[in-house]
Structure 1
Amino acid sequence: MPRPQGDGLRDGERYEQGMVVRREVLSDAHVDRSIENTTDLTADFQDFITRIAWGDIWSRPGLDRRSRSVAVLTSLIAHGHHEELAMHLRAALRNGLTVDEIKEVILQSAVYSGVPAANSAFRIAGEVFADAPRDAGR
C-alpha cells in the first residue's frame, strides 16, 4: 500500500533507490565501509537510514542535493554532531558546494547556533579540506 502522499515505492525499491543516492552522495568507499562494519546490532539501523534518509528524504524532488547539503551541514553544526559533520562536509563537496560556500554556511551557523559550534565546524572543515583532493570544491 502506498504511503499517503507517497511515491508508491515498496521498501525494497526504496532501499535500492536509497543505496544509489547514498553512494552518489557519500561515495562507494564510504558506503562499502559502512556495509562491511554492519553487525547484528546495527543491521536494522543501516536498513533504516538507507530506506528513509537516502531512499525517501534525499530522493525527494523538492530540493536539489546542494540545498540538502546546506540544510544538513547547518543541522549538524547546530547539534554538535562532529563525526557526521566531517562526513557531510565531504558529501557537500561531492554535491557541488565550494569551500567558500561551505565557509558561508558555517559563518551563518555562528549567528544562529553559536560561536563555539562554528569554531568546531571550522576546525573540522579545515581537517576535511586538508585531506580533500586539491581541486575538490574550489
Structure 2
Amino acid sequence: MTRPAGSGLSDEERYDQGMAVRREVLSDAHVDRATANQTELTADFQDFITRVAWGDVWSRPGLDRRSRSVAVLSSLIAHGHHEELAMHLRAALRNGLTVDEIREVILQSAIYSGVPAANTAFRIATEVFGDDQA
C-alpha cells in the first residue's frame, strides 16, 4: 500500500510541498493571482487545497502528472466544472499532454459523460488553445 505523500510531514511542510507542486502544475502567475485574491473568508480553504490537494494527493507517487491530468480533465468534464476545466486544460499541457491527447480525452468523455458535456469541453478548449489547436 502506498503511504500518503504527506505522511510524517508537518502541516507547514505539506503546505510548502503543495505550493511547489501547485506552482509547477498551474504556473506561478496563476498561483500568485489566487493568493493575491485570498480573503479572510477564503484563507482556510486556500490553505486546505494547498496542503491536501497539492501537498498530499498531487504529490503521491502512484500516478505521474500526465495521468493525474487525464483523470482531472475527465472528472471536470463529467461534473461540468467549466472554470476549473479551463485552468486544468492549461495545466495538462504543462504536465506533458499534447493538444491531440487532450482532444482524445474530451472525445472519450462524450461516451461516458455525454455529448453536451464534451461539446462544452471542446468549446472551452477552443477558447483556451485557440481555433487552430482544438
Does residue 62 of structure 2 align to residue 62 of structure 1? yes
Q: What's the CA shift for 1:109?
A: 0.4
**Counterpart position of 1:20:** 20
Find the aligned partners of 1:32 and 1:69 in 2 and give their Cα distance: 21
**Could you list the per-position Cα deviations for residues 13-69 of structure 1 after superposition, in whole angstroms to 9, with x for gaps in the alignment?**
000000000000000000000000000010000000000000000000000000000
- The correspondence of residues 87-102 of structure 1 with structure 2, limited to 5 A, is 87-102=87-102
Report the TM-score when normalising by structure 2. 0.93
CA RMSD, aligned part only? 1.5
Q: What's the CA shift for 1:130?
A: 1.7
**Counterpart position of 1:110:** 110
How many residues are matched? 129
Find the aligned partners of 2:22 and 2:50 in 1 and give their Cα distance: 7
| Identical positions, percent | 83
- The correspondence of residues 1-138 of structure 1 with structure 2, limited to 5 A, is 5-6=3-4, 7-130=7-130
**SS of 2:130's equivalent?**
helix
Q: What's the CA shift for 1:122?
A: 0.1
What amino acid sits opposite 1:110 in the alignment?
A
Report the TM-score when normalising by structure 1. 0.90
Find the aligned partners of 1:37 and 1:58 in 2 and give their Cα distance: 23
Q: What's the CA shift for 1:80?
A: 0.0
Q: Where does structure 1 differ by over 6 angstroms across 4 or more consecutive aligned residues?
A: none
What amino acid sits opposite 1:94 in the alignment?
R
